[in-house]
Amino acid sequence: MEADGWDLVEDAADADVAVVNTCGFVEAAKKDSVDALLEANDLKGHGRTQAVVAVGCMAERYGKDLAEALPEADGVLGFDDYTDISDRLQTILNGGIHASHTPRDRRKLLPISPADRQGSAASVSLPGHGPAAEEPQPAPADLPEGLAPASGPRAPLRRRLDGSPVASVKLASGCDRRCSFCAIPSFRGSFISRRPSDVLNETRWLAEQGVKEIMLVSENNTSYGKDLGDIRLLESLLPELAEVDGLERVRVSYLQPAEMRPGLIDVLTSTPKVMPYFDLSFQHSAPGVLRAMRRFGDTDRFLELLDTIRGKAPQAGVRSNFIVGFPGETEADLAELERFLNGARLDAIGVFGYSDEEGTEAATYDNKLDEEVVAERLARVSRLAEELVSQRAEERVDETVQVLVESVDDEGVYGRGAHQAPETDGQVLLTSGAGLRVGRMVEAKVVGTEGVDLVAEPLDGSLGCSEEAGR
């Protein structure tokens, strides 16, 4: 958009058009998205803002239905509108009407066989993906300062919105799994990888901007490369990313337990600068519930996987999310989940109560639990999870951790250890911070805990020294 002459402003009240990115999965996120659109709409008539436009997954998933249900939005743009978004916004700003799309199952836009997808992807809008190019193309001469060029003559550009030392990098989009509770594949489409050169080029640019840690994100990182002819491509890409000048950490999010393989575990636990961090999507551990979810595994197999990981990296960080109250879940199933949680020693746990997602297989199941039962089980497992992650944090007392400093202010110096992902897994409070600044790596000894958070004392030589020595 900036390359087309638009200016990004800090305050929405200073914008001609407010573009609201939305989420289309789970009710709480949908509500937040609607609230954000209504908040933006309140700006009209009180400032410069003339139009409010919805983009993102909720806009894609509901299209014209969202436009009809939410007249406060002057436009609802789906993924196919992104390549022409400047024209779309200008039309709306000029008082014109852009007809919102009729939603469709995006899994049907690409070939069923992953090996056939890359050649077909050029005709499908894939947010975050650019046209493939064998060699990086030079940036346009009039590219505004601070924008990241990517390969391809019209590839997506990137601007950093803050000075954080951490940034996400998109690895792939879509998902081929058919979990019975999940609607995401229907509006995000089939799985397709970004090319390694694109991921590397973006990472190099981020490092030049001062980023110290990248977080690789997608709906399923363990599938990376299968549509490029190499299901083990992540194992070769991670060491290359770790060698990018200026980068201190590479972290991988969202791994499928059923797709974990020995080689990937080896790379994640033994490669310098690649964090031994495992964001494993367990969802449950009772075999019957997992089968109903169209997933695989059980308590003992999951515990064996964790034993394998910790046998190679004892301090590895592990987090996961779980759904309780799934249709047909029995008290015995819940007890099996609790057995797993008690044995898993997870660093971070997210617990969600089941609710129907329209268009999913699970929404058609008969044996639904009463809402009161789901709420009770959610509260019960959430209490257990809070207790267990606090215990796991206490196990780390006396460990030495490498802390990436993320904030330095009157409230203290905070950062994260290798086992903690940004925003979701807790943080580390340093007991002293003389001479520290955001982006520094500090070696520290854990001396206490505050729930899931750690309190750590910087070791001699970590403070008041050069950045290089601080590493």
Per the annotation, where are the binding residues for [4Fe-4S] cluster? 175, 179, 182
The radius of gyration computed from the CA coordinates of the chain, to the nearest angstrom, equals 23
C-alpha to C-alpha distance for 428 and 469, rounded to whole angstroms: 20
Closest by CA to 462, choosing from 410, 409, 412, 400, is 400
Phi then psi for residue 122, to 5 deg, are -60, -25
Collect contacts of 460-464 with beta carbons under 8 A, ≥24 apart.
463/432, 463/433, 463/434, 463/435, 463/436, 464/434, 464/435
C-alpha to C-alpha distance for 378 and 372, rounded to whole angstroms: 10
Alpha helices for 70-145 (secondary structure H): 85-93, 117-120
Task: Estimate to the nearest angstrom the gap between the alpha carbon of 251 and the chain centroid.
Answer: 11
Cβ neighbors of 31 (< 8 A, separation 6 or more) are: none
H or E stretch including 394?
A: helix 371-395
Phi then psi for residue 403, to 5 deg, are -105, 125
- Dig out the tokens for 119 from the structure: 């050649």
Q: Which residues are annotated as a binding site?
A: 175, 179, 182
Start-to-end CA span in the chain (Å): 38
Strand-pair category, 428-430 with 412-416: antiparallel
C-alpha to C-alpha distance for 61 and 297, rounded to whole angstroms: 30
Triad 133, 87, 44: Cα angle to 5°: 130
Phi then psi for residue 294, to 5 deg, are 65, 40
- Partnered with residue 454 across adjacent β-strands are 428, 449
C-alpha to C-alpha distance for 135 and 158, rounded to whole angstroms: 19
DSSP assignment letter at 84: G
- Dig out the tokens for 223 from the structure: 């599938």
Closest by CA to 156, choosing from 82, 90, 224, 104, is 82
C-alpha to C-alpha distance for 352 and 25, rounded to whole angstroms: 13
Q: Would you list the DSSP string of 263-297?
A: HHHHHHHHSTTB--EEEB--B---HHHHHHTT---
- Dig out the tokens for 350 from the structure: 């997210």
